Structure 1
Amino acid sequence: MKLFNTISLILSLFLLSVICSAETTIPGQIIKMDQGRSYGLMVGDIIEHQYLIAIDTDYSLSPSSLPVEGELTYWLDLNSVNMSSEQRGGKTLYHLTLRYQTFYAPLDVRALLIPDQQLVFTDSSNQRFEITLPEWHFTMSPIKEVVSSGIGNDDGSNGFMKADIAPRTHSLSRYQTPIIIYAGLLILCLLIWSALTGLLPKFNTSPFHVAKRHIKRIRRQKNMTSEQVQRGMQAMHDAFNARASHTVFAAQIDDFIKQYPQFNACRTQIEDFFQQSRNVFFFDEEPKPNLLTDCIRLCDRLAAADKVVQSKP
């Protein structure tokens, strides 16, 4: 009977302690923590710690308890402290981000420590509640070996030198066909452009085509003078001379047409041209305003007739 009473008393005390602990729950805690990897860090690396803290809305964070940016030790700086908060239900969520930078340069792998820090929260009655950011252990690695592997050479620094990376060759076979096609099109376009602008030599081309281009260049000039008109007429004479392979005068028109009967349909225009040429060159008459236009039309007719004959086998 006494044993039963003892067990009942123990159970009662246990239930009472559970009830009391439930009634005195803590107002806040760290519900999420991310401190990154704790190994392989080197001099100059950034260390970022993130915390998510939930606390009753009755409590608010004391700003003076936040870590102060700046130099913490000779090898560790606190670069930034970012804090934001939001309300969620009956809790206030604090997002805290701490960014450290380490300047420790170890000669071998070393274990280091960022100490714990206290955050203070107070309510309206100035009752304090503290949350501890836990200390963080991590290891740092050296950026070079202590003893050079090239020791004993003429220059110890050669031990750290690595061979140059060999250049990679890329196959250009898939570009070969497009390049050939585009190059061929470019050459063809250049040839066509050169032919249209008269830069290519004209094989088996009527000399009247050459005279026409020369006269058209003269006619495009502004404020034409008598000398310019005479140069255009001289280009026409040069075409007749080139076709006959000798100098053609007005008295030799019949012989010229007899030698080249394809021009017989243009006899009247040829005679008119030679008559106007005689008046301009020998009698100093003022040329007609449309003289060069008439010469261009005559060149077209003579070149067309000349082409028909030249194309015959």
Structure 2
Amino acid sequence: MIRQFINACLLLILMCQTAIAQPADINSRLNVSIHMRDSGYTMGDYINMHVEISTKNKLSIDPESLPLIGRINPWLDLQDLQVKSEKGKTTLDFTWQIFATVEIAQSLKTPQIQLKNLANPQQLITIPAQRFYYSPVLPYPIGEVKRHDNIPPPAFDVHTPLMLMGICLILATILSLLLLWLKDLLPWLPYQPGPMTALARQLKACGNDHLQHDQLQIIHHALNSTAKQSLYPSTLDKLFKVAPYLEKERDAIHAFFKASWHSIYENTSETPAITVAQTLAWVNRSAIAERLYRKHAEVAHKKLHR
């Protein structure tokens, strides 16, 4: 008798624990009603679904549990969602839109939605999927239907990007060379060359071994341009005052000026011929000195006016 009483007590305790551990139905205190037309839809139509959730307890839907506006699946989009809360009732207005088409009428379903309650995080609010009938746009063909193969994806255009890259590379090279030229950083193409630099380029293009009469005049013109006045044997030293960078070539310039002066103006047959190589040697050195001097003078001028 005592053993039966103990067994009955243990059974009662076990039943109480089971009842306490088992959660209550999450929708037992919620009344979810859905209003939606279930037929008459075709491609591009909107589906308006009105959901009412009635409860006596506090209900606050978690915004993060609501479906996002946009593509839901390949044939259904959620265009709009409005949520309104009143005393004891929360309404949700879904606006779906269909984009695909079918050949024959079919029965489709909206997606099932589960919402969370912020007032009771363990409680889930389930909006069941709603069935509706979807009609085709065109009548079903009676004859045989010949289906075409899928259109292959368009080929990637390789030539246009390569051509644009080549054009950009050429433009970048041209602009870089132009910038280097404006900064006078190209040794073979000086920017605004001085008289001696221009003279050196002319003599390098000379094809004969000895200087001719017109070439001697060109050299004299370059020396006059450097001195900014007409030079004579008696005034040649003024050249080195105006262009001090030619001081190292004083002897070579004096020797050339004396020989060329006799050859041009006195026409003496005893004057030896002046070689191009000998003249080009001191002209090249003078051109380098002129270029360096002008570059340093330009830098000093910029620093002075800052």
Is TM more than 0.5 here? no
TM-score when normalising by structure 1: 0.36
The structure that has the greater radius of gyration is: 1
